[in-house]
């Protein structure tokens, strides 16, 4: 982050400098008093489970160079603290976005926004690999995709950045629109529309409306919207797209052929462009679904100016990240660790990989899919019915809603006599240690709140 003055902050946020000189500068921002370095600006955010204003004294003790606080949450006397410049704003989260937008406008990279129910982090990281072939590239760290994380990524901008790749997530209405307002993307990619975050987005139409805000808010002289040709609710999203809409995956356009999985579950095949030119594709991450993410990334990379053959070659360097279908060898069996999150579409992709990888026995260890609202029971039952049709030798479930995987798969014809449901994670771990044997392949998958990584770590210990 380049140094900015408190006066710039004041103008960008509409705040009021309660104490301090406008020409005073800061060069970095922290929202966590525990990791704040001396001289950093402390931004006191208010969340559902925390209030950063409660840690202002810790920030002062740590040597904060200034603070941004809400007028309604500012402790009495803080604005008169003689050692600490204080900027008072109506709402600190809104102010963070306003300042991030003002900061982003000082630079001129080509900006790509990526959203979707599944696949957005993989697609973002794949596109970053492609863009680096030609450009100095900045991409969202990890899954910094919300109203806090995206601004933090923007603060890493400087004059050298030519391509900015941003992941955009939402679990409630209005978040994508706000992220688009802050970032002003020129290219937008929607990876998928499926049943996620239904607690607040209500249904598939609500998910589509929210994700469609990316297409509607694209900026620049030649905005480009990119999506799979078979995207759910495409008929409602297409009219909202500002600029050109590019659909990939259909045989008349940019698409993939001859897809196959190697012994490690990684996809390879051929990328075919609109003129029937063919380019080899070889991925280094497991899952056939990753080929679809790669195709979207290649389309966006081409729009940035990276030719398809160079982009495809760059994708060999993409290795994935923690918690997403990561094979882990444990003695003489293998675990597919997919513990970052779970929803119906990502579960189907993981199960597809499980049944297509070579194995002695295939075992599915499945936790609850969370944040599905009133549709939770139905969606768990539908996934259970899908399980019944797959050649999986053993299913262990963990949690509450996940018991529906077993009952519904039984109704669909699966013999569940050896399958088991657990409510205690330690009992589940003990049972797995007893049954896992030579050449077994075990998928461990559940929503983030289920903390399924506890199972993996216990098996690997």
Section 407-425 average pLDDT? 96
Does residue 290 have a pLDDT over 60?
yes
Does residue 82 have a pLDDT over 60?
no
Does residue 286 have a pLDDT over 80?
yes
pLDDT-based confidence at 49, cuts 50/70/90?
Answer: confident
Q: Mean pLDDT across the chain, nearest whole number?
A: 93
Tell me, what's the pLDDT at 197?
76
Does residue 416 have a pLDDT over 90?
yes
Tell me, what's the pLDDT at 81?
56
pLDDT (tens digit per residue) in 292-309 = 999 999 999 999 999 999
- Tell me if the domain spanning 107-317 has CATH number 3.40.1190.10: yes
Fold matches, 4-92 and 107-317? no
pLDDT-based confidence at 78, cuts 50/70/90?
Answer: low
Section 55-61 average pLDDT? 89
pLDDT-based confidence at 142, cuts 50/70/90?
Answer: confident
Q: Which residue has the higher pLDDT, 198 or 406?
A: 406
Tell me, what's the pLDDT at 194?
84
CATH superfamily of 4-92: MurE/MurF, N-terminal domain (3.40.1390.10)
Does residue 86 have a pLDDT over 60?
yes
Determine the CATH number of domain 326-460: 3.90.190.20
* Of 14-23, 173-182, 362-371, 431-440, minimum mean pLDDT range: 14-23
What's the rounded Cα separation, in Å, for the pair 178 and 386?
37
Does residue 262 have a pLDDT over 80?
yes
Tell me, what's the pLDDT at 268?
96
Tell me, what's the pLDDT at 77?
58
Tell me, what's the pLDDT at 457?
95
Q: Are 226 and 215 in contact (CB under 8 A)?
A: no
Domain extents in the chain: 4-92, 107-317, 326-460
Does residue 79 have a pLDDT over 70?
no
The residue count of the chain comes to: 461
CA-angle at 357, arms to 429 and 296, nearest 5°: 105
pTM recorded for the entire structure? 0.90
Section 316-325 average pLDDT? 86
* Nearest residue to 69 (alpha-carbon basis) of 116, 98, 31: 31
């Amino acid at each position: 982050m380049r140094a900015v003055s408190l006066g710039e902050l004041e103008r960008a946020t509409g705040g009021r400098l309660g104490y301090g000189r406008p020409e005073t500068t800061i060069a970095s921002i922290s929202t966590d008093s525990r990791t704040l370095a001396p001289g950093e600006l402390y931004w006191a955010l208010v969340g559902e489970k925390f209030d950063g204003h409660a840690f202002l004294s810790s920030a002062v003790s740590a040597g904060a160079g200034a603070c941004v606080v809400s007028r309604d949450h500012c402790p009495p006397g803080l604005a008169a603290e003689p050692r600490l410049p204080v900027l008072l704003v109506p709402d600190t989260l809104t102010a963070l976005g306003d300042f991030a937008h003002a900061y982003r406008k000082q630079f001129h990279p080509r900006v790509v926004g990526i959203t979707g129910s599944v696949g957005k982090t993989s697609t973002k990281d794949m596109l970053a690999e492609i863009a680096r072939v030609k450009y100095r590239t900045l991409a969202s760290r990890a899954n910094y995709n919300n109203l806090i994380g995206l601004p933090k990524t923007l603060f890493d901008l400087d004059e050298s950045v030519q391509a900015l790749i941003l992941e955009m997530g939402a679990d409630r209405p209005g978040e994508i629109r706000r992220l688009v307002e802050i970032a002003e993307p020129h290219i937008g990619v929607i990876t998928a529309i499926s049943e996620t975050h239904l607690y607040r987005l209500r249904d598939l139409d609500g998910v589509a409306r929210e994700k469609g805000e990316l297409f509607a808010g694209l900026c620049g002289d030649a905005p480009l919207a990119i999506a799979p040709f078979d995207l759910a609710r495409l008929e409602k999203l297409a009219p909202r797209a500002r600029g050109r809409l590019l659909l990939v995956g259909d045989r008349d356009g940019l698409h993939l052929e001859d897809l196959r999985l190697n012994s490690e579950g990684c996809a390879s095949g051929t990328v075919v462009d609109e003129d029937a030119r063919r380019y080899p594709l070889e991925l280094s991450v497991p899952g056939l679904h990753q080929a679809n993410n790669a195709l979207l990334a290649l389309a966006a990379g081409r729009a940035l100016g990276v030719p398809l053959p160079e982009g495809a070659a760059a994708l060999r360097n993409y290795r994935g990240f923690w918690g997403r279908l990561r094979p882990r060898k444990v003695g003489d069996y293998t675990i597919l660790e997919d513990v970052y999150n779970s929803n119906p579409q990502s579960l189907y992709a993981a199960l597809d990989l499980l049944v297509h990888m070579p194995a002695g026995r295939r075992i599915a260890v499945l936790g609850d899919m969370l944040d599905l609202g009133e549709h939770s029971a139905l969606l768990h039952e539908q996934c259970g019915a899908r399980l019944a049709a797959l050649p999986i030798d053993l299913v262990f479930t963990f949690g509450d809603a996940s018991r529906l995987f077993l009952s519904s798969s039984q109704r669909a014809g699966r013999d569940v006599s050896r399958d088991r449901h657990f409510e205690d994670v330690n009992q589940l771990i003990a049972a797995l240690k007893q049954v896992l044997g030579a050449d077994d392949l075990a998928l461990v998958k559940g929503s983030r709140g289920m903390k399924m990584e506890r199972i993996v770590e216990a098996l690997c210990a």
